[in-house]
Structure 1
């Protein structure tokens, strides 16, 4: 057993020696991150600096060789080597999570593990929303322990298991929070990553957006009622305008112009037939025509 114990001791110290400065960094997408390379180097020694990156299940790739960023890298536009040989990554994404190794001639090797926290939402039904809190990390590290990803409501109360209007399930490094829609509320939830001592490493706030439910129904009903009211008002206005137009046409027809004076004359013919005149006296019959003339009022 002694030789085996000596071997394990040797490996442990050897690993500790070449991995001096091992770091666990926690960030969120969009941040600019600086990965340190050991205890620091002078500008002239960066010419021997090499940065390796590994994200499982993909093979290890070289991002920096002899102090220069490899331009063929997909991330070349977002990488830069600082004067202390640290590696700067601009606007990180979840795909940047993984293990970074800085190697320099004559210097101890430094490993940096970049962990990235993301929070997203998906809805299964109109009256509830599902929030996914994921920690993207290098799988070589120990898996996320139970309750290492915590959900808190806006009062700071921890949400564990199933409760009033919520349900929490953690699978490896992903924690899923399902919350019910509550009318008149706009609640905010916080996802935290904690270590073994319950020390918060990183956290993110999120306010779910509900696309349906009771509030959504009220909005639809209100919109329909509003449209109906508008249609009724427009119809009433059109009817009123139509009545006014009809009344105006009637008044115009009843009004006569001077040119119509001749057509306003009424002729009456009166025939006086004196049948009872004395037989010896002959009376001459005459036809008398009367006319009525309408004068235009001034």
Structure 2
């Protein structure tokens, strides 16, 4: 037990906060991430292992052992080892957040901190309509507590942007509340044109030119009658013409159907009368 504690302590003191080999990787829930092992690339991936350390309580799991994904890990179906010994994630989840240490044999050679961006709506369905309020919470899940930023993670910023990445215009209907470095909430007064609109929370890292973002689409299930779009006159004309044609077809088809049914009913009755008369004559002859 003491040996394990000493090993964990030595690992935490070996570059978790100050080593040049520490790497910060940002992605989003449901996305992918590539965790590099080291630079230069190890010559033999069969000597490489990856261990995940989670949270301030320091619990750890072995995700890769001697170049092979650990089948006992609950992440094994979403992990793979690349040709340069990097750890590739897909379909990322919140519980994937943590500090990943790459070992060559028993020697730790790099630390990779994985953080994930999430976005959620705090509004009710009834609020998603013109005149209602859309409340979106953007949170970065980091190695420490959710939504809090430790001094080590000072190389990024969160912002709310349009679907194409442009800064939101300065309008009174946009309000930022409860904002910290890892937690930003946007409150918006919805307009008619906001139906099916994408709202984007974006993370920009100073050491990485590639921005990470998460989108939310506001879809209206209810809409005030005053804001419903009017049906174009051309559509009304088409509907009127179709109704007029259907009335004509109904007026012509219905009498024809009545005459046809009456004719076959009369013909069937006449046939039965002839059959009965013939049967009576046969009985008299016999």
TM-score scaled to structure 1, two decimals?
Answer: 0.58
Larger RCO, structure (CA 8 Å, separation 6 or more): 2
> C-alpha distance in 2, partners of 1:48/1:164?
58
Which structure's CA Rg is the greater one? Answer: 1
Q: Deviation at 1:190? A: 3.0
> C-alpha distance in 2, partners of 1:243/1:158?
62
**Superposition map of 1:260-275 within 5 A:** none
> C-alpha distance in 1, partners of 2:86/2:112?
11
TM-score scaled to structure 2, two decimals?
Answer: 0.60
Q: Deviation at 1:55? A: 3.2
**Superposition map of 1:51-130 within 5 A:** 51-56=50-55, 59-105=59-105, 107-124=107-124, 125-127=127-129, 128=132, 129-130=134-135
> C-alpha distance in 2, partners of 1:95/1:103?
22
Q: Which runs of 5 or more residues in structure 2 are unaligned? A: 1-9, 264-286
Structure 1 residues 178 and 209: alpha-carbon distance in aligned structure 2, compared to 1, 3 A threshold: farther
Q: Deviation at 1:41? A: 0.7
Q: Which runs of 5 or more residues in structure 1 are unaligned? A: 1-10, 253-298
1:291 maps to which residue? none
> C-alpha distance in 1, partners of 2:123/2:58?
32
> C-alpha distance in 1, partners of 2:14/2:200?
37
Structure 1 residues 190 and 23: alpha-carbon distance in aligned structure 2, compared to 1, 3 A threshold: same
Q: Deviation at 1:60? A: 1.4
SS at match of 1:178: strand
Q: Quick check: 1:166 aligned with 2:167?
A: no
1:177 to 168, 183, 186: 186
1:213 maps to which residue? 223
Structure 1 residues 37 and 86: alpha-carbon distance in aligned structure 2, compared to 1, 3 A threshold: same
> C-alpha distance in 2, partners of 1:174/1:38?
31
1:274 maps to which residue? none
SS at match of 1:47: helix
> C-alpha distance in 1, partners of 2:206/2:80?
34
Structure 1 residues 213 and 153: alpha-carbon distance in aligned structure 2, compared to 1, 3 A threshold: same
- When the two chains are superposed, the root-mean-square deviation of aligned CA atoms in Å is 4.5
1:138 maps to which residue? 143
Q: Deviation at 1:103? A: 2.0
User: Do the aligned partners of 2:128 and 2:218 also contact (CA within 8 Å) in 1?
Assistant: no
> C-alpha distance in 1, partners of 2:68/2:15?
28
Paired residues in the alignment total 229
1:137-194 deviation per Cα after TM superposition (whole angstroms, max 9, x unaligned): 211761788x94211346934468xx52232223542322222221245554332224
> C-alpha distance in 2, partners of 1:115/1:215?
44
User: Do the aligned partners of 1:32 and 1:90 also contact (CA within 8 Å) in 2?
Assistant: yes
